[in-house]
Each structure stands twice: as structure tokens, then as C-alpha cells.
Amino acid sequence: MADDRLPDWLTVNIIDGEYSEGKGGWAELFEYRGILYNALLRPNVNRPGIQDELLVLLARAIENNDDDGMDEYGDECRRLIWPLIEKDYASRTTQEKINLSPSKQAVCIEGRTIEGELRAFSHTRKLGFRTKPIPNTFPDIPTFSHTLVRRLDRLDDEIFKIEHGGQMYCLKTVHSKEGGSGLQREINTLQYCRHPYIIPIRGVVVNDHHEVEGMLTEFIPNPITLEHVDFSCFSKEQCNTWVSQIRPAVNYLHDNRLVWGDAKPANILVRRNNDLVLVDFGGGATEEWVDSKKMNTQEGDIQALDRIEQFLWRKVVDSESNN
């Protein structure tokens, strides 16, 4: 089987992160080949640094609540410092790697620009395990050992395309944006769902202590969110079909005393056959779609549903007026 993974700097297991510090800064705690690395980039103090412009872009994305920008520039920060991480790893003896592997103490590396080159320095800034594995209280859901799950591609913040036993799945780890409580909520919801327009759960990934590290769902190749659809390619009839798929899916949830939560076009994927599927049941609310006082309620789902339908029709009208 061909190895189509992205570079290591895109597929590491990110455990914690901070992405703003004064005029801009980036820090991540992640696992690389069994060793924890606490990586840090800050603007140079006395003279321009290689990292400075990137950190300004990251800070600007944070100020504008631009999730895509934060993901992109966070990835670029990791790419920039990655040669220092690989150099450190390669410099360690086999015994040092063995000693570090089970340790919770991270190797702290800060990238600073010296004479036009990014060099490694030690630092003392602390990052911790904000999210931890959750108890496996899901006896009816298949379990997959973490040692047999192979990550192929990073799709989003702690969401991966993985392979297990020759099958492809989507893995959402406990370190995703919602954390352990969000993952637990999502598994609790999806384990009771059997609907063609709701993402199906395939299993949970467990560690050596049988604790849940992540959730496996159906893998959808090249997914597009409803938020980013090119509506010039779709007719009114297609939008009517989409409405007829979203509303029954939400009604199904409510009939089973379940709640979608962070309902919005960004959490609706378009399959290859143009059918829709609802994803992300970790809870929360996005103000544009759900009022905060209605967060994680059926009333909030209905409010978002109405706004999503209005969004669809606006897009169709705008597309027709531009043609």
C-alpha cells in the first residue's frame, strides 16, 4: 500500500496549544515519535526574525476569529520550527528516546532568529494536558486499539483520515477543539443515531488502559462543507433537496430526545453524490446561527435550521443574479 501521508509536521498528535501573546506568539505541545515536544515561537526582540511576519498573520487571524487562518498559520509555525524538532530527535541516542518516551516531561524548544537563521533554544514556558482520555462507557460501540490505527492525513484540528484493517475512517481525537467533554457528548449522541443524513459512528479508539482516545466515523472523500459550496453549480431543485434532507435529520434527533448543538452550514458536509450529512455533535453554538441562550437545546437547533434554509436561498438568489 502506498504511503500517502502528509509530512510529519501536519500529522503530529497535538495535545495543547496557545496562539497569542502580546503582538503575536505560538506555542504547541505535541507528541512526535513517542517524545513530547513543547515548541515555541515569539517575535524577535532586538532585530527582525524569520518568524515575525508569520506571527503577525496568526495574531491577526485570532483577532478576527478566523478559524481557517488560525489553522493555516498554526500549521506554518509548526512547519517553520520542524527542522529544529527533527534535528533534536535525530541527535538523541536510542536510550535517551526510550527514557523520554513514557515521560510526561516535554523537551522544550524555542526557535529564535540568529544571523538570519532559525536556531533552537531551551525555554521554560509551560503547556499542559488540558484534555485527557475519557472512560469507555460505550459497551455497544466497537473498539479499535490505538496501536493499529494508522494516520494518513490531517483534515482539521485533531481530525484525521486514518486506516485500520484496510478500511478508511475519519478520526476525531480527544484533543479536538471541544475536548474530552465534547467527544463524550458526540459519542453519546451518535451511538443512538441511524439516519442517512447523520454521520455514522464506526467505533472508538482506545489506549492500553482501554480509555477512549478518539472516535471513528465514516470517511467522506474530499468533503466540502455547505458553507463553501459553489452555488453557481447547483439549481433551486438541488437546494430544495438539501432542505428536505436537513430538516428530517434534525427532526429525527429531536424525536429521539437528542440535540445537534453547534448547528451551522460549516457542520454540514456534501457527499460525492451531492447528498448532505450532519457532523460535529460536540456541542456549543456559533452566534450567527444559534443565540447563546439557546445553546445545546432543541430550540437552538430549530433556530439554526431556519437560518440555514435562509442562507441556502440567499446563495441561490445571489448566484442567479450574478449569471
Residue showing cell 482501554: 210
Q: pTM, whole model, 2 decimals?
A: 0.65
Tell me the mean pLDDT in the region 237-255: 94
pLDDT at 313 over 60: yes
Question: Which range, of 76-90, 193-207, 305-319, averages the lowest pLDDT?
Answer: 305-319
Sheet hosting strand 26-32, strand order edge to edge: 13-18, 26-32, 35-41, 107-114, 117-121
Cell reading at 9: 509536521
Q: Which residue has the higher pLDDT, 15 or 90?
A: 90
- Is residue 303 pLDDT above 80, yes or no? yes
For 30, phi then psi, to 5°, come to -145, 165
Arithmetic mean of pLDDT, 250-257 = 97
Assign 5 a pLDDT band (cuts: 50, 70, 90). low
In this prediction, residue 188 carries a pLDDT of 95
Q: Hey, which of 67-71, 101-105, 245-249, 314-318 has the most confident mean pLDDT?
A: 245-249
| Residue range 202-218: mean pLDDT, rounded | 92
Looking at residue 291, its amino acid is D
pLDDT tens per residue across span 38-49:
999 999 887 889
Beta-bridge partners for 276 = 270
pLDDT in tens, 275-288: 999 999 998 888 88
Predicted pLDDT at 317: 79
pLDDT of residue 2: 36
Domains by residue range for the chain, with CATH: 8-121 (no CATH), 143-218 (3.30.200.20), 224-321 (1.10.510.10)
pLDDT exceeding 70 applies to what percent of the chain?
91
- Grid cell listed for 193: 443515531
Would you say 160 and 170 are in contact if contact means Cβ atoms under 8 Å apart?
Answer: yes
Per-residue pLDDT at 260? 96
**Angle (deg, nearest 10), helices 52-63 and 67-91:** 140
Per-residue pLDDT tens for 156-198?
Answer: 767 888 999 999 999 998 877 666 888 999 999 999 999 999 9
Tell me if residue 187 falls in helix, strand or coil: helix
Q: How confident is the model at residue 105 (pLDDT cuts 50, 70, 90)?
A: confident
Q: Is the pLDDT of residue 129 over 70?
A: no
C-alpha cell at position 184: 463524550
Q: 309 pLDDT band (50/70/90 cuts)? A: very high
Per residue, the 3-state secondary structure of 217-256, as one string, reads: EECCCCCEEHHHCCHHHCCHHHHHHHHHHHHHHHHHHHHC
| 3 pLDDT tier (thresholds 50, 70, 90) | very low
Give the phi and the psi of residue 38 in degrees, each rounded to 5. Answer: -105, 100
The enclosing H or E element of 283 equals: none
**Order of strands across the sheet that contains 159-164:** 143-145, 201-206, 212-218, 167-173, 159-164, 150-156
